[in-house]
Amino acid sequence: MKTKSDDSVIRATDLTKRFGEIVAVDGVSFQVKKGETYGLLGPNGAGKTTTMRMISGLSPLTAGKLTVAGIDVTSQAREVRNVLGVVTQEDGLDTDLDAKSNLIVYGYTAGLSRADAEKRADAVLMFFDLTDKAHEEIDYLSGGMKRRLAIARAFMTSPRVIVLDEPTTGLDPQGRNRVWQELETMKQGGVTILMSTHYMDEAAALCDRLAIMHHGRILAEGTPDELVNRHAGSEVAQVRVSNGVRRDVVDWIGDAGFDYRDAGAVITVTSRNGARPDLSGLAGVRVSYRPSNLEDVFLTMAGRGLTDDE
Amino acid sequence: MMAATASTYIAGVRLRSIAGIWYRHFLVLRRNLLTSISWYFVEPFVILVAIGIGVGTLVNDVQGVPYARFITPGVIVGSAMFHAVFECAWGGFMRIQKGVYETTLTAPVSTREVAMGDIFWSMTRTIVTAVCIGTVAAAFGWIDNLSGVGVLLPAALVGVQFGALGLIFAALSPNVHILSLTFTVVASPLYFLSGAFFPISSMPDWVEPLAWAAPLTPSVHLARGFVTGDLAMSHLFAGLYVVAWIAVLFPIAATLLHRRLVK
């Protein structure tokens, strides 16, 4: 996990964004290394999109320092967009043009010659398996196709770094799968990917490293396995309690120093650092165990974060 | 324009950005050629012929020329205004809402260049419509001297002026209902205030200075000068007055668009 400073493609230091009184991004720092897929994981409103927009040069920083491929985003927002492929959260497709023209216009505007834009559009359509939709009206494409077309558009200029804001939000399972496959192929091709998502399974499947964001801050960073191990242990315990003893059980778990979430019929108890919560001292309840996952990490940390704020 | 290489800048303006946006609009036009013809051709043709000949039978010559001939410059310039407003106010608003501008900005394009690209296209549109109506008018003999070609100048100026104004409304409007005021409260009154359909001297005394100050009026005056071939200093002033409007409106449009798109 050692990093030489020069293989960081994106370096964000104390990145901050305020909208009036609201602090959307509150001093986040992270680095994305060449060729890696890095995920910002968090719920809506965590500051993921604002972070991505700052990196794309589409939203000026309130404070902090940010470089992409060595280019300072604050002073050279335009140059940054020469090296980045950006897929915004909305597909931003032009419904007045057909699928292929969307690609050509973007490619030409971004700097390709018209002949190159045309050639590249064919290649990109083929890669994304959209060749037979080249002349389709945008409105007649499925959600998954629109998303893939938006990603294809970012690839018109063959960028080495791509910024993807929620690549699969709103897609059906099939559509998600397709996008995942294509992102995996890009990754194999050496493209550095920064993506945001609020799907834990997506983050686990695609990302080499993750930052868990909440309320504009990074709560934890690491590989998916590291994060799970460190913050949710190897397994979580699920405790089923009847209402009569609920209070006592919750007190016992709290006193034992475990993190837990009380969701009605089931109390989920997490341990840390690869351990599994030992609830053998707890009598009169049903306990079952399952492997920990990122969702446990997130909910545990978000729960802790909220307590800190109060 | 098409030859603008990826890295040609003039005064900090990346030419390819403008060429790319222009090309986008061109492809949209080409894709919708048949419906566009109604916009460029049929509608102004109907106005010119219906009002020119229809109303023309009811009124005597105006300022010494038949009514159809009198309204020709105003219909050309007025149509240009509606094209510009439609492209930049309505079209611009839709492109904001649908994230089309945002996509453009993910390429190395600035908001100022987005504004310039759209306004440049707006100007192209107004020139095309002026050519279409002008040709019809010439066929009827309502434009019959070579200086009539000069109407393309006020048409182009209106394209830039009202393109900028349209973008201002697009950037400011929170929804389409407010946006529609651009047509009902701004464009239509300006059309009738411009002297296109009746001489400004026939308006009430207190309206006259307002009519002359209104942004479309000088272009109608200038167009009429070209059509009649009777050009004077007042036409030069009229042209400069429109340029002054552009000098004021464009920076406002670019700033407001930036505020709307880059937060």
Interval B245-255: pLDDT, tens: 999 999 999 99
Domain A234-291, CATH 3.40.50 — does that match?
A: no
CA nearest to A86 within chain B? B106
Give me the CATH topology for the region A5-227. Answer: Rossmann fold (3.40.50)
Q: Hey, which residues 199-228 in chain B have their CB within 8 Å of chain A?
A: none
Average pLDDT over residues B30-56: 85
In a domain, B9, yes or no: no
Q: What's the pTM value of the predicted model, to 2 decimals?
A: 0.90
CA nearest to A17 within chain B? B263
pLDDT (tens digit per residue) in B138-185? 999 999 999 999 999 999 999 999 999 999 999 999 999 999 999 999
Please count the structural domains in chain B.
Answer: 1
In a domain, B5, yes or no: no
Give pLDDT, residue B2. Answer: 45
In a domain, B8, yes or no: no
Give pLDDT, residue A4. Answer: 46
Q: Does B262 touch chain A (CB under 8 A)?
A: yes
CATH 3.30.70 domain residues, chain A: 234-291
Longest dimension (CA), chain B: 59
Which of residues B256 and B44 earns the better pLDDT score?
Answer: B256
**DSSP three-state, residue B117:** helix
CATH 3.40.50.300 domain residues, chain A: 5-227
3-state secondary structure A54-97: HHCCCCCCCEEEEEECCEECCCCHHHHHHHEEEECCCCCCCCCC
Cβ contacts of B121 on chain A, cutoff 8 Å: none
In a domain, B236, yes or no: yes
Average pLDDT over residues A132-141: 96
Which of residues A173 and A109 earns the better pLDDT score?
Answer: A109
Give pLDDT, residue A307. Answer: 41
Instruction: State the smallest CA–CA distance between residue B98 and chain A in angstroms.
Output: 6
Count Cβ atoms within 10 A of the Cβ of residue A244 and give its class: 0-12 exposed, 13-18 middle, 19 or more buried. Answer: exposed
Give pLDDT, residue B43. Answer: 79
pLDDT (tens digit per residue) in A225-249? 999 888 888 888 888 887 778 888 8
- DSSP annotation string for B31-85: HTHHHHHIIIIIHHHHHHHIIIIIGGGTS--BTTB-HHHHHHHHHHHHHHHHHHH
Calculated CA dihedral for residues B101, B102, B108, B109, nearest 10 degrees: 30
Q: Does B19 touch chain A (CB under 8 A)?
A: yes
Give pLDDT, residue A306. Answer: 45
CA nearest to A20 within chain B? B263
Cβ atoms of A73 and A80 within 8 Å: the answer is: yes
Cβ atoms of B253 and B162 within 8 Å: the answer is: no
CB contact under 8 A, A97 and B20: no
CB contact under 8 A, A78 and B14: yes
CB contact under 8 A, A58 and B262: yes
Per-residue pLDDT band for B57 (boundaries 50, 70, 90) equals confident
Give pLDDT, residue B6. Answer: 67
Enter the DSSP assignment of B230.
Answer: -
Structural domain span for residue B82:
15-261
Closest residue by Cα to residue B88 from B162, B188, B197, B141? B162
Give pLDDT, residue A3. Answer: 43
